[in-house]
């Protein structure tokens, strides 16, 4: 058990108040294990600041004492980056939950790092706006965590990932200094783009405290279709046709027979078709006027075996649930190894086929469940029934992805889970630049040590 020194606890309590410095093991527990249960470690102490000034105060205390910190938002990250490894201080941003009024003229708003995605969506909807990033962890994932991981989700196809929504940022550096770019300027070419750099930095360069975000129009007319197809290649052909012909296309997701069975068993959901099919493509179109006719016309003569279509909210949500419940259904079936990978679209069908082969070769016990954001070339490779600490299947999958010209992280980040594999898809010069940036901003390696740049080449 890691014990915090009395001096550190009292210094932190002087900043945030004693009731927001947790050193009781029972109170710390929820902050010490990640969502997948694969990653956990002891926190020296958990600190819960209320605002930017308190975050800066906490970082000054930790900087003076050379105590490392793990920032944590909703703790829904899937690569082990949000939980302590070796007695770090966990810095919870959950209390930074202030939502400023929507700037209706600019179509923007400023949110505290601890605001959940669902709260932001509800707040924007009150003023007739939507937010460009959406994902299944919306009730817990925070804006700060989503910026830190450059989260992707189900609408990247149309609006881009989290970095594309960021207009400005406020963050606290490792020594407690605050950088603030929040005026809401759409254009501002004054030097390096620090907000863009912090997006995707996984808590290794600074602690995000507030974010200025662009909003998108709320599109009320929607249609969702689950299309049964022969295989990934057919799903890609159908997707390419829809992208070329249907301007309102907002999502294109893929899942497979084994995942649907897990979801049905876990949630009790109704199967969309009387018989099972090898692969399913879920598409959603959204517009001001009903896009159903456009979708149906574009699907005429397409290589689709069967289709389930819904336009009413309840029906749409039922179809989405088949795809979105994958993560929780897999988690309920065991402690998964999760590999979030991307390849060029032209290699995606090959990846889907070969990943099953390489996992079976690496470990005969392994059970593979695949799903993902087809339109982005992004597959989530979930492997069940292998020991949590055994990386054999991870190595096999990530090497395959590198061979296919892909990336070992599409949207979840590197965290601790993939830090040893960075060199597979980043060369020495690239890693040297990232290391130099890290040292410039955090020379004592106090922010999220072990994450992203932890290991040199194995
Ligand atoms: C059911 C489910 C579905 C998901 N679907 C998707 C998906 O479709 N697309 C996707 O991209 N991800 C998805 N995720 C992963 C996860 O939701 C995202 O990575 C999300 O961005 C994490 O937000 P969080 O607030 O939970 O961050 P955390 O898990 O708390 O932290 C994630 C990382 O960010 C750092 N961090 C957190 N807050 C801050 C801050 N304020 N400043 C600096 N660093 C910080 C942490 O140290 C850590 O390295 C899913 C997860 C679940 C459980």
Tally of CB atoms within 10 A around 2:
15
**Distance from C-alpha of 166 to C-alpha of 143, rounded to nearest angstrom:** 10
The DSSP bridge pattern shows strands 89-92 and 69-72 to be parallel
Atom of ligand 1 nearest to the CA of 327: 1
- Spatial CA neighbour of 45 closest among 82, 81, 77, 13: 13
208 lines ligand 1 (CB under 6 A): yes
* Sign of the Cα pseudo-torsion (190, 436, 208, 15, in order): negative
450 lines ligand 1 (CB under 6 A): no
Task: Please answer whether residues 425 and 407 qualify as being in contact, where contact means their C-beta atoms are separated by less than 8 angstroms.
Answer: yes
Would you tell me the crossing angle of helices 232-245 and 292-299 to the nearest 10 degrees? 130
451 lines ligand 1 (CB under 6 A): yes
pLDDT of 6: 82
242 lines ligand 1 (CB under 6 A): no
Task: Please answer whether residues 165 and 213 qualify as being in contact, where contact means their C-beta atoms are separated by less than 8 angstroms.
Answer: yes
pLDDT of 95: 98
Ligand 1 centre from 410 Cα, in Å?
Answer: 13
Q: Which residues contact 215 (CB under 8 A, 6 or more apart)?
A: 102, 107, 108, 109, 124, 129, 130, 131, 132
User: What letter does residue 441 receive in the DSSP assignment?
Assistant: H
CA neighbours closer than 13 Å in the CB half-sphere of residue 91 = 36
Task: Please answer whether residues 255 and 371 qualify as being in contact, where contact means their C-beta atoms are separated by less than 8 angstroms.
Answer: yes
pLDDT of 406: 98
Indicate the helix (H) or strand (E) that contains 322.
Answer: helix 313-324
pLDDT of 5: 80
Backbone angles phi, psi at 79, to 5 degrees: -125, 20
pLDDT of 3: 64
- Spatial CA neighbour of 255 closest among 229, 292, 223: 229
Residues of the chain predicted below pLDDT 50? 456-458
437 lines ligand 1 (CB under 6 A): no
Atom of ligand 1 nearest to the CA of 451: 49
**Distance from C-alpha of 437 to C-alpha of 64, rounded to nearest angstrom:** 21
Please tell me whether the overall predicted TM-score, pTM, comes out greater than 0.85 for this model.
Answer: yes
330 lines ligand 1 (CB under 6 A): no
């Amino acid at each position: 058990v890691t014990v915090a020194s009395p001096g550190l606890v009292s210094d932190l309590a002087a900043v945030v108040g004693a009731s927001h410095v947790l050193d009781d093991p029972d109170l710390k527990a929820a902050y010490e294990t990640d969502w997948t249960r694969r990653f956990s470690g002891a926190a020296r102490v958990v600190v819960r600041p209320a605002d930017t000034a308190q975050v800066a105060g906490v970082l000054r205390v930790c900087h003076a004492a050379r105590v490392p910190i793990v920032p944590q938002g909703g703790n829904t990250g899937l690569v082990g980056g949000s939980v302590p490894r070796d007695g770090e201080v966990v810095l919870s941003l959950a209390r930074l939950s202030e939502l400023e009024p929507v700037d209706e003229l600019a179509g923007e708003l400023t949110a505290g790092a601890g605001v959940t995605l669902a709260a932001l969506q509800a707040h924007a909807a009150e003023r007739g706006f939507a937010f460009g990033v959406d994902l299944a962890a919306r009730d817990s994932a925070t804006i700060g965590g989503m910026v830190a991981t450059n989260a992707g989700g189900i609408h990247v196809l149309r609006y881009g990932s989290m970095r594309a929504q960021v207009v400005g940022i406020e963050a606290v550096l490792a020594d407690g200094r605050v950088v603030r770019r929040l005026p809401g300027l759409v254009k501002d070419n004054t030097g390096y783009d620090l907000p863009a750099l912090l997006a995707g930095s996984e808590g290794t360069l600074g602690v995000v405290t507030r974010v200025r975000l662009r909003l998108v129009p709320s599109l009320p007319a929607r249609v969702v279709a689950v299309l049964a197809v022969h295989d990934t290649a057919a799903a890609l052909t159908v997707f390419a046709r829809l992208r070329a012909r249907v301007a309102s296309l907002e999502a294109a997701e893929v899942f497979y027979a084994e995942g649907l069975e897990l979801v049905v068993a876990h949630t009790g959901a109704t199967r969309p078709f009387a018989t099972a099919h090898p692969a399913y493509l879920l598409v959603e179109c959204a517009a001001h006027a009903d896009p159903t006719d456009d979708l149906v016309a574009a699907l005429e003569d397409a290589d689709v075996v069967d289709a389930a279509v819904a336009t009413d909210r309840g029906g749409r949500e039922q179809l989405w649930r088949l795809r979105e419940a994958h993560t929780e259904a897999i988690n309920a079936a065991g402690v998964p190894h999760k590999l979030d990978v991307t390849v060029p679209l032209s290699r995606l069908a090959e990846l889907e086929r070969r990943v099953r082969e390489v996992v079976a070769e690496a470990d005969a016990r392994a059970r593979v469940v695949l799903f993902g954001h087809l339109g982005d070339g992004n597959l989530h490779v979930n492997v069940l029934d292998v020991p949590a600490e055994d990386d054999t299947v991870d190595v096999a999958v990530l090497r395959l992805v590198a061979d296919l010209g892909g990336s070992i992280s599409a949207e979840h980040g590197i965290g601790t889970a993939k830090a040893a594999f960075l060199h597979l898809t980043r060369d020495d010069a690239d890693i040297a630049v990232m290391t130099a940036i890290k040292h410039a901003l955090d020379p004592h390696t106090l922010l999220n040590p072990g994450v992203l740049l932890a290991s040199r080449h194995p």
